[in-house]
A = this chain, B = another copy of it.
Amino acid sequence: MLKGHQSWIFRRRPVITGTAAVVGPFEGRGPLGDDFDIVHGDSMVGQDSWEKAEQALLEEAANVAIQHAGITKEQVHFHVGGDLMNQITSTSYTARTMTIPYIGVFGACSTSMESLALGAQLVDSGAAKHVLVGTCSHNSSAEKQFRYPTEYGSQKPPTAQYTVTGAGAAVVSDEGDGPVVVAATIGRVVDMGIKNPFNMGAAMAPAAVDTITAHFRDLQVGPDHYDLIVTGDLAKVGYEIASDLFEKHDIPMHKTRYRDCGMLIYDYEKQMVQSGGSGCGCSAVVTYGHLIKKLRKREFRRILVVATGALLSPIAMQQGETIPGIAHAVAIEAPESI
């Protein structure tokens, strides 16, 4: 139900009964490598195009998440998801093979939490018993579409981010064992006039701060309410901007408790990722691979995942438009004690 102006609290406590994170070889070599369910040795995933490889990652993640939930795909009422590809084809073609009634969504890299928020809302309100949510991205399909094909080997500025090759999916259920989705905040579009698709962290940081501030206001909590607040893919540059904005607004975000998925997924010493990770898959695989495991083990009691999206399109950029940002936040708690 509605709480404040733009948040929902989920009184029936929908449960994340199954999750899966499937990644490419580069992500497997990062510091979270051991947390992912499947690490592919080949970034083509046995397919003949980058787009088909991306879709294959998502299909795998969807099937593994359903399996982990201990149900069959016929028991899943709705599939909510989207991705970065034009017309969200990775997700729509996955929905074709899943044959689950399908609600396509798009929030760029905020799609991971947009779909989880909607899935939890549907379960909480009795509109579904089980909902499959998820998203994916692939470094080479994203670069080809938004910047330059990876085959060109073009140079990148230090503000650029490295799109994660990976897919994350989860099943949200009305009962069962697992971490609990307790609240969500839907973000507004915030645009601070950034025009550079090689600096998306700066474009998204103000949206993250806007949504987190709204979340605190709507739920009447502060940063201390959470053991961890994690943004989706601001990476180093965006993280610093967001940190400055929190300071400016007198919001005491402790650096040890505020992290960013785009900074967690790669090893800055050994992996050349400029500012850090990005892409729909970034917050999805960090959440469903790494963070959910920590909640299951009760290393965290309560976390807030704030997935950030840069709503740019190449054609809007060519027409001189700026990059609007958005962020959606979902609060997740450790499984209830038995």
Contact = CB atoms under 8 A, between A and B. Distances in A.
Contacts of A316: 51, 87, 89, 93
Contact of A321 (B78, B93, B99): B93
Nearest to A126: B1
Interface in A44-83: 49, 51-52, 77-78, 82
A125 B1 contact: yes
Interface residues of A, number: 56
A315 B103 contact: no
Contacts of A187: 101-102
A266 interface: no
A92 B311 contact: yes
Contacts of A324: 92-93, 95-96
Interface string A209-244: 000000000000000000000000000000000000
B101 A104 contact: no
A106 B111 CA distance: 12
A107 interface: yes
A110 to B, nearest CB: 9
Number of copies of this kind of chain in the complex: 2
A244 B210 CA distance: 52
Contacts of A100: 188
A125 B121 contact: yes
A314 interface: yes
A51 B108 CA distance: 19
Given A1-B127, A2-B127, A51-B315, A104 B102 contact: no
B313 A86 contact: yes
Contacts of A127: 1-2, 8, 121, 125
Contacts of A85: 313, 315
A315 B105 CA distance: 19
A126 B89 contact: no
A80 B186 CA distance: 11
Contacts of A51: 315-316, 319
A88 interface: yes
A87 B106 contact: yes
A103 B114 contact: yes
5 contacts: A8-B127, A93-B316, A95-B326, A103-B186, A106-B106
